[in-house]
Amino acid sequence: MTINGLVDIVESIAGVKLERNYNLDAPKGVNGRNSDNTMIMERLGWAPPTSLADGMDRTYRWIAEQYDRRAAGETTRI
């Protein structure tokens, strides 16, 4: 999953379109840090029960709810 792919998911969840600006002169970080989870499925027969998009959707909605509650003066607990 790329950063642009994550931004695509968030834009879809939030119903917005963000302007993306890239600083190509910035440090690049580690190239190729990827996770291949096929071994987990092959050896353990396990796969995450929640897709990335569904998890991000649930997290976004929870954060929005917390924000709205605090904006209304409620005390929230994590």
Residues belonging to the chain: 78
Is 75's pLDDT higher than 90?
Answer: no
Return the exposure string of 36-47: e unless at least 16 CB atoms fall within 10 Å of the residue's CB, then b.
Answer: eeeeeeeeeeee
Q: How confident is the model at residue 21 (pLDDT cuts 50, 70, 90)?
A: very high
The domain segmentation of the chain, as residue ranges, is: 1-16+36-73
pLDDT at residue 68 in the model: 93
- DSSP one-letter code for 24: T
- Following DSSP, what letter does each residue of 42-58 receive, concatenated? HHH----SS-HHHHHHH
Q: Which of 10-14, 32-36, 48-52, 67-71 has the lowest mean pLDDT?
A: 32-36
Question: Which of the pair, 36 or 33, is modelled with greater confidence?
Answer: 36
